[in-house]
Structure 1
Amino acid sequence: MASVARLASQRCARYLGYTYCPAYSLPCKMTYFSATRKVLPDGVFPTMITPMNDDKSVDWAGVDLLTEWYIRSGVAGIFSICLSSEMFQLTNEERIAVAKRVADKAAGRVPVVAGATFEGSLEDQAELMNKMAPNVDAVVIITNQIGNMSDSDEVWMENVEKLMKLTGDKPLGFYETPVPKARWLTTDMMEWAARSKRFVFHKDTSISTSTMVDKIKAVQSVSGTSLKFYTAKSPFVKICMEHGGNGFSGVSPNFYPWVMSWVCRNMHDKSGHLDQAMRFISITDGTIQRRYPTSAKHYLAQEYGAPFKAVSRVISDQITDQDCFSLKSVREEMERLCQEIGATPVNITDCH
């Protein structure tokens, strides 16, 4: 672990315009690297689903409608081209086009980030990142896609450094996608990213709150960093923000974005409503993830009348009657919760 920490310090020093002094394990000032960074807002970044037609082509009108619905529901930003978007089943052309469409529809009202490292060599991945970058506020490195899962942390960091060099000064992010297998960042890597002045977004998929909190502390140890930390786990969002994290980026805003946004805005609530909302989020989390992302498309069509097809490239299973009843119950319980806490649902059919 010490070697990884030293490597992180060396690489971070190089990107901050320093050289590394092995005798003292400290960076020595040479020249300063500066970059203008748009600081992302705290709150909710929904992992955007991709509406599709019956033939599984992208439903572009649906992309526009969904983007508008997110924004009117109070989200802080949008994470396009992620696992919810069926990113592995999209072509590079579709990835670029979807991200651009979302950003164009958002029109600066909220920031848009997009995943951009998929198949091919690091050079191929950097090419896609460079093509994606003009359209979005940050291009996101998929942590398990930039090498072999058997690669050491040192090799992984070398790959990140190469992508950084190939992409100039573009704002970057990390996404610890759990599919096919998660590559989680260590606390040393998180501190390195926070010091690098290139990273502005991190979607964390840690499966323990203690690991998540340690990573948040690593980011916080860097004064003035522009790196923002968003948990992917709905039940973790309160703990994440209590310990200095910046919000949530995951599945549940595809069902009730206003609830997740309310939670992120009301972390100091003492009325009991915050705990009430967190119980609802934790209880319904398993239900909404069954047959996802098809379940989200079905939910928006069935419960809100959205002109979406329950079609996806990644899930072939059909929505069952049991799924329908469960999702209907989610809406009913959500609406009762909203009456209690004062959150306002937004009907997607009003977002044309």
Structure 2
Amino acid sequence: MNEAKYIARREFLGKSVKGVLASLAGLTFSESLTAHQRITLPLREERRNIPVMLTAYQADGKIDYKGMDRLMDYYLEAGASGFFANCLSSEMYHLSPEERLKLTRYVVDHVKGTVPVVASGSFGKNIAEKADFINKMQDTGVDAVILITAHLAEEEEPDERLISYTRQILEKTPGVTLGTYECPNPYKRVVTPKVTQFLVESGRFIYHKDTTEDMQQIRQKLHYSDGSNWGLYNAHIGTAAKSLREGAKGLSPIAGNFYPEIISWMCAHAENPEKQKEVNWLQEKLIATEKKIGNQYQLGARYFLSKRGLDIAANCRSTDAKLTAEQQGVLDEVLKELPQWHERLGIS
């Protein structure tokens, strides 16, 4: 990899802000493509809405790449300013190795460098296999390859083991920009402040998806990363506003697969002193609604998006079940309430 390309990938926050700025200006996605050429970066560092992407499927269960186009354009028009591809929401454990790479490359090709893309890559039975797949994932053009923290140590093993394992991966993936994800599957391995310090000091990590919802831990991680390229992206909606105010780089919650424009609004305004009344109101709404959208998440998100007008099939690979009538009713009530949120927040 040449030096210029490596530096470009490290400049994760330097990518365009097409989605956020266009949505705040009330532009359509097609208009935003033209406007992007005239827009400069805002004075304040952008807080990014990085959706944890769903995977669209055809009726036969194969990946629907045209459906992925529609989904990505939907995210972007709603203000998304980056993508987390091949993650748990993408059903990464239900994709073949070849599908993981092909799908990620498709996402990278679709955005054409206008927004950053990260993707999970720490798959394999041992360090050599993991490193090999990480290098292959890097070749798709992603800005960072994400290491699942539970892939780096067994549940009962100490941080020292995780650090040692990660150091070996670093040696076998020279030049690859990385990130971490506290994925709950196969088990939830939290990145402690001690591990955070190691990741930051390595100079190789730029993205961390945090799932602790523990503000004390989040503050400690942000303290160790102050002034570095390492960025914390909060996956839990309960601490969304607080984490952004404390210095988190953005949000990557499942709520972004239901109302991404709302998550974009929170990223844009959480630190705005003139918007704190609306921010605090929205934070409470998001907490209350999260309990409603979490049930049958994979099916529910597709149902919700289809009801909002996105052409996406309701099927997924992780379950053969159908969305229950009861959960459909719960989601329908959320849909009815959403226009009130838009009106209160001034979202067109």
- Is TM-score (shorter-chain normalized) higher than 0.5? yes
Per-residue deviation, 1:269: 4.1
Which AA in structure 1 matches 2:102?
A
Question: What CA distance in whole angstroms lies between the structure 2 residues aligned with 1:326 and 1:269?
Answer: 34
User: What is the CA-CA distance between 1:90 and the residue it aligns to?
Assistant: 0.8
- Identity of matched residues, %: 28
Partner amino acid, structure 1, of 2:135: N
Q: 1:188 aligns with which of 183, 187, 194?
A: 194
What letter corresponds to residue 11 of structure 2 in structure 1? K
Tell me whether 1:263 sits opposite 2:276 in the alignment.
Answer: no
C-alpha distance after superposition, 1:77-115 (max 9, x if no partner):
110111101111111101001111111111112110000
More helix by share: 2
- Specify the alignment match of 2:214 in structure 1: 208
Match of 2:231 among 225, 228, 233: 228
2:99 to 88, 94, 103: 94
SS at 1:262 equivalent: helix
Q: What amino acid sits opposite 2:233 in the alignment?
A: Y
> How far apart are the structure 1 equivalents of 2:136 and 2:254?
27
**1:241 equivalenced with 2:244 (yes/no):** yes
Pairing of 1:292-311 with structure 2 (within 5 A): 292-301=297-306, 303-311=307-315
Taking the aligned partners of 1:216 and 1:316, their CA distance within structure 2 comes to 41
Matches within 5 A, 1:29-68: 36=7, 37-40=10-13, 42-68=47-73
The one-character-per-residue Cα deviations of 1:272-294 (angstroms, maximum 9, x if unpaired) are 11112112211111211111112
Deviation (angstroms), 1:235: 1.7
Q: Could you tell me how far apart the structure 2 residues matched to 1:170 and 1:202 are?
A: 15
CA contact (8 A) 1:294 1:312 kept: yes
Structure-1 residue corresponding to 2:181: 175
> How many equivalent residue pairs?
306
- Structure 2 letter corresponding to 1:233: H
Q: Which residue of 2 aligns with 1:287?
A: 292
SS in 1 for 2:84: strand
CA RMSD, Structure 1 to Structure 2 (Å): 1.5
Q: Which has the larger radius of gyration?
A: 1
Structure 2 unaligned regions, length at least 5: 1-5, 14-45
Give the 5 Å matches for 1:125-140: 125-134=130-139, 135-140=141-146
| 1:291 and 1:317 in contact (8 A); partners too | no
Instruction: Could you tell me which runs of 5 or more consecutive residues in structure 1 were left unpaired when the two chains were aligned.
Output: 1-34, 345-352
2:203 aligned counterpart, secondary structure: coil
CA distance in 2, matches of 1:269, 1:255: 27
Asked whether 1:335 is paired with 2:334, we answer no
Normalising by structure 2, what TM-score?
Answer: 0.84
Contact (CA 8 Å) 2:197, 2:225: kept in 1 or not? Answer: yes
The one-letter code matched in structure 2 to 1:315 is T
Matched position secondary structure for 1:97: helix
The residue aligned with 1:149 is 155
SS at structure 1 position matched to 2:180:
strand
Question: C-alpha displacement at 1:159, in angstroms?
Answer: 1.0
Structure 2 letter corresponding to 1:98 = L
